[in-house]
Amino acid sequence: MKSLSQDERKLLIIQGLDILAYSLASIFVTVFFFANSDLKTTVLYRAISFASMAFFMGAAGWTLRKFSSGLHMKVALFSGAFYYFLLFLLRQESVHYIIPLAILDGFTGG
């Protein structure tokens, strides 16, 4: 097995930190939706988020043939920042936009 290059190590570290931050933030977003709504809304949000994440992971694997993994990571980081910015702007009103937010969350994770 060949050893990893410096760029590959950096990419793995950045992606690992991104996954850790996404996982921690997801816990707080779930609690936020539960506090501002009910259990049914929270479960619906998570189900849509995981379903769209699975779809976009498959799409990312398919598009890796044409686009680099670095571009995929940049798009994911930008969409994640946009998602949290929307949560910040919408605050308690975000419960009314749960389906688009869940799809965007799945896109970010996928």
Summarize pLDDT for 47-105 with one digit per residue, the tens.
999 999 999 999 998 998 898 888 888 898 899 999 999 999 998 899 999 999 999 99
User: DSSP label at 3?
Assistant: P
Domain that includes residue 101, residue range: 6-109
What digits encode the pLDDT tens for the residues 10-20? 888 988 888 89
What pLDDT is stored for residue 76 in this prediction? Answer: 87
In a domain, 94, yes or no: yes
Are the CB atoms for 108 and 49 separated by under 8 Å? no
Q: Which two three-digit tokens encode residue 36? A: 């501002």
Total of domains in the chain: 1
Q: Please report whether residue 1 resides in a domain.
A: no
* Side chain identity at residue 8, one-letter code: E
Residue 53 lies in a domain: yes
- pTM, full prediction: 0.86
